Chain A
């Protein structure tokens, strides 16, 4: 084999290694790589590395993986390539069997509630009232068969995300501004007299949604179901980011993208290695604000925090971070499963500190509460001003049929 062919073969093998490590390398990129390398002096190793990096990497998160793979592949033990090659080619799998995973998949928390008597579902009347009861029943009290039903019902929900007006205009029949381009073209029919008026108005798009879910020990009976809920949301809408936290914050949006719900949830649970640990809401929110808020909150996002508020961390820190978060997003909604319990009062320090910063403080303990949440999200008004529109939004929470009025003057939009 000539030198050129050897080099070509090694470069192609390197591309396969990168693919195994999770970096996407398309054929087009490989072809471009070949063309690019003809201009580079291949003896200089760093030059080759920079060139390969420029042509094969697409995002910052791949840079370290690439450098490691490059150093491993082109190291001095070049002859032992075949031995290491197989190992390098294997994609990273979640091969570790985790106690947490077993515990959560067995849903042992629900086994204790096992109901002895079976319900006869043949008659429609019984079926309807069974479903009604199921919708009202608290998630923590479900038996494992009821859990399956609830999951099925949840998947059938139709969620309609909140919308906002963008700055992009599109042609409409009636609008605020004249569309001059179309106006002129229409006027040509009438010898240049602008008789037909054509309009444009602002396009409407969906707001991004950010879910920050507490998966600490105190939320154990709700965590799995709420994770399912976040999966359903992320499949339905376009821009949904999901984060889990107990002592640390973990982003699981990528894991939830899997088509199979069970695989997706398993991956998500494994990614959050501190599942069932203590709660540090303030620290997790600080992490979110510092690392992620600038990247995911653009476009007027709605943030949903799901937690029971039992916090072991610093409540001052929680208050500052909540304030920061509040200023960066369109609406901040706190969902507390304990609100469903009759007689519950939010008295913990953490929740009390955070309450003034929240726009909506809602229960999330059963399917009915989820339905109410869905209708609230659908009806979130266009405009950004919290003071002006909160009155109208609060009226929706009483279950009153909300008639959508004309939105207020189209001024600043978040």
Chain B
């Protein structure tokens, strides 16, 4: 959490890095600097990387660090304004008309037309919530997996991210008094348009090194012993170098270590690895390739005696 009286703007790089550490996110300095620049320059952050390396985590941790709300928008094909920005509460509006009629307060008596397009009939969805907020500090808006949305949504988002305003035809334009901190993630199943990427600061999160991954495991699974953690990380690091279809990410490593802890294992053996392979590999072809012989080979290479 932020110290009292310290504005988001005044955070230094070291304070951000310290904050990330306190929230159990192991980050390198480059990410810290990128986050720092995002906060200072009010620009969105575009995070790319392979699946399972912790892109969504960054947003959650940042929200925790700054002590603000996290608003999450999960993208999918066909995401449109009524699911992403706002929708009118039609049934409520129709009821209102009937009610006005029933209580014979028609427009002639009132002297003005009934106000059917006022904020109380507006259903706010994530993007509008992020713009039309009354909070301080501003919330963190996470736009997750933007590559799954289609180009029409990207075009809409482009406009939003440059001006931070939303125009509702019936009501007018709503501007953000305090623009939210935007983090966009992508899995690269499709190339996101250049214009959008250029509006943002870019950061690529790669698979971690041995030391970094070990630190992550130690921080996230404190109940695992040093020996188990280092053996598991060494195994996964070696597995990433093999020719498999879907290389395991950090999320898979963490799942595996937690499973081993649950199974009360103190170290890694051939049998347990073969049994729990489904936590690391998610494709049948990969599992068939790795199970048995390759597991033994890797365990031998990482100098653990296979039993």
Contact = CB atoms under 8 A, between A and B. Distances in A.
B204 A63 contact: yes
A166 interface: yes
B13 to A, nearest CB: 7
Interface in B76-91: 76-78, 80, 82, 87-88, 90
B40 interface: yes
B77 A168 contact: yes
Interface of B: 13, 29-30, 33-34, 36-37, 40-41, 43, 48, 76-78, 80, 82, 87-88, 90, 93-94, 97-98, 101, 116, 147, 150, 152, 188-191, 194, 197-198, 201-204, 243, 245, 285
* Interface-centre pick from A24, A63, A169, A192 (highest chain B CB count, 10 A): A192
A50 B189 contact: no
A309 to B, nearest CB: 24
A54 B198 contact: no
Contact of A192 (B13, B43, B98): B98
B94 A50 contact: no
A191 B198 CA distance: 48
A54 B98 contact: no
Contact of A26 (B30, B198, B204, B245): B198
Given A47-B29, A60-B48, 16 more contacts: A36-B37, A39-B36, A40-B37, A46-B30, A53-B202, A54-B202, A57-B202, A58-B194, A58-B202, A60-B188, A167-B77, A167-B78, A194-B94, A289-B245, A295-B190, A299-B77
Given A167-B76, A167-B77, A167-B78, A28 B150 contact: no
A183 B98 CA distance: 16
Contacts of B90: 180-181, 183-184
A166 B148 CA distance: 12
Nearest to B200: A58
Given A166-B78, A180-B90, A298 B190 contact: yes
Contacts of A65: none
A180 B94 CA distance: 11
Contact of B189 (A40, A188, A192, A298): A298
Contacts of B93: 184
Contacts of B43: 32
A54 B201 contact: yes
A55 B37 contact: yes
B189 A295 contact: yes
Contacts of B198: 26, 28-29, 58
A302 B299 CA distance: 42
B88 A184 contact: yes
A291 to B, nearest CB: 10
Contacts of A320: 285
Q: Is the interface of A mostly helix, strand, loop or mixed?
A: helix
Interface of A: 24, 26, 28-29, 32, 35-36, 39-40, 46-47, 50-51, 53-55, 57-60, 63, 166-169, 180-181, 183-184, 187-188, 191-192, 194, 205, 289-290, 294-295, 298-299, 320, 324
Nearest to B204: A60
B243 to A, nearest CB: 8
A320 B286 CA distance: 13
A298 B189 CA distance: 7
B197 A168 contact: no
B194 A39 contact: no
Given A26-B198, A168-B77, A54 B190 contact: no
A292 to B, nearest CB: 11
Contacts of B152: 168
A328 to B, nearest CB: 11
Nearest to A191: B97
A181 B82 contact: yes
A47 B33 contact: yes
Contacts of B98: 192
10 contacts: A35-B41, A50-B34, A51-B34, A54-B37, A55-B201, A60-B188, A63-B204, A192-B94, A294-B189, A295-B190
Contacts of A26: 198
